[in-house]
Structure 1
Amino acid sequence: MTEKIAVLGAGSWGSMLANILTENGHEVRIWSYNPDQVQELNEQHTNEKYLKGFRFSERLRADTDMKAVVQGADDVLLIVPSQVTRAVATDLNQVLTELNSKPALIHGSKGLEQHTFKRMSEVIEETIASQYRASISVISGPSQAEGVARKDPTLVTVASEDLQAARHFQQLFMNNYFRVYTNHDIIGVELGGALKNIIALAAGTLAGLGYGDNAKAALMTRGLAEISRLAVSYGANPLTFLGLSGVGDVIVTATSQDSRNWRAGYQLGQGKALETVINNMGMVIEGIATSQAAYEMAQLTGVEMPITEAIHAVLNGEETVAVAIQKLMTREGRAEIG
């Protein structure tokens, strides 16, 4: 059955998910605040800043008017940087109020709100009145937009407390190169998607320093252990971190040069200043803000997160990368499990 779907956010992942849904036969409209980007999508069917060389479906339509995009939509996908999710959701709440509409909501943002440490589903739940949302879900997993553009076989998870809603989005997104699983552990899926960006930053840093596969494997393994510890302390199912939103997402973002967090870490490892790295990227690096949030969460809960603490110290100019690595390697010996 064809659905009308509104996508809020035209970055690399938002525009790619919009294209998947369009290819799957749905009527999709995408919102961007940038009129030049909207014109490019509508006339050239490209989004060169975010996905160079990719041509989008000519049936995908873009607009700067959120109300026009959302009007009549059965489903709304929010996929903007985590630090502006509350602002965009507030605008969406106003639009839904004016339209008296109640679509199913799903987000694809991999980050945490600064200071509150809230997951994006919590932000949406707080911001959009219950009478204007049928359900809240999240789509996450090991999925670089560039790989999906090449039609690499890609597997992701849709999580929701409402499994019927998760199955609904599973059917909307599934095709022969994009496979979707469902999960009811929305806490674990969201925290996995956010916290793995810290490990990706660290992995890029090691690569920038010239370290090889041994260091990479050590980082990914112990990094996954500490982010799962933190997530479990907030109510996540530990088994989630053995799946797509845990080990899967860590693998792809900590090994792929398509990962902006990995690329940012790589530049840090080469000795570039954080401000220079941010300016060079030209896109939001979620791992920077998430490392601050995770550091504070660990302090509050008493969860030990040595890699996160090291990245936090480097990003805040408290330690050099070399010193941070030396401290990690010379920590007191302990058991791996237990």
Structure 2
Amino acid sequence: MRTRSAVWSLVLAGGLAIATLPAPAVAGGPAPSPAPAQAVVVAPAATSVPANVSTSRTPKGRLVLLPLVNKTYALTSGWGPRCIPTRGATTFHYGLDMGAADGAPVYAVTGGVVTDVRQPSGGAPGTIVVRSLVDGVPTWLGYLHPWNPGKYVKVGDKVKAGQRIADVGASGPATGPHLHLEVWTGGYYTGTSHDPRAWLEGYGLPVTAQATADRVAPTPSSCTYYSTTRLNLRAGASTSTTVLATLDANTRLWNKPGTKINGFIPVSVRMDASTVLRGWVHTDYISQSKAYHLATSTVVRSSAVSTSKALYTAPAGARVAPGRVSGWWTNVSVNGVTGWVPTSAIAGGVS
């Protein structure tokens, strides 16, 4: 049986990465599937449940509600396999991302006991986990990415449905403020993960209808990445396995999303017209786009001639975004400055 410390040592991102342990089971909806729920209502301000938050009842009468105020959030990323969006994130997303204003209130979906409160640390997001008994089924709900998850609750607290338990934040791997909501049965990260959208809507909660936008992309069948530095392609998901090849920066890789072990994912690489190698690379050194840096300290100039005005001296290693080319010069953006540098000063990857 996994210890709590072992489970939490795996927390790496919104959706939480799986390291050496086997991946949890996954399921698409509530467990067990609920009977038709009562009609959705908007809680009146006079109750303890916040106004303008959609609520419902489970078949056995348990109060459940959306974690954010109606029409204040957009659905930005769904549950399931995905292409890794940022360093430290996962390739299977165990939650539903609801983009909202930084600091917006997060409410408990249903009542329960707080089992974990984790401050952001080591690249991991702030996390609150609440254990509930939903129509006889032990259920864990995870609320991820608050800046200060201990602001309103602590481990052992009993919370009520609709109680404010957190503020929306962007701690850990995140591209903007949002609530990442997870639903588990059988144990948090030791049991079965459920699609939060299907779980909420299965109990009559209009998570999609009350969103300002639904930007959840379809599940990708494959992902394309580029190495951000010279990178070892290995025979297995460990640094102790054989190196099959050492790839140059900005080498194109592709894979089928969903599997990540010890920070490694399986990829395919075309070495030449007739050779494709298959192996494993560490996700700390890949990106969905090519990356470039300055090989030496370089003067950024106002135009593509060496006598033009010097705008900025960029340090060696500074990451650049190359644009159009004119002769021996390339237009770049570096540290907020846009100008021209010798093309010879630009190297692939990040230093």
Q: TM-score range by the shorter chain?
A: under 0.3
The structure number with the bigger radius of gyration is 2
TM-score after normalising by structure 2: 0.24
Compare the two structures and name the one with the higher strand fraction: 2
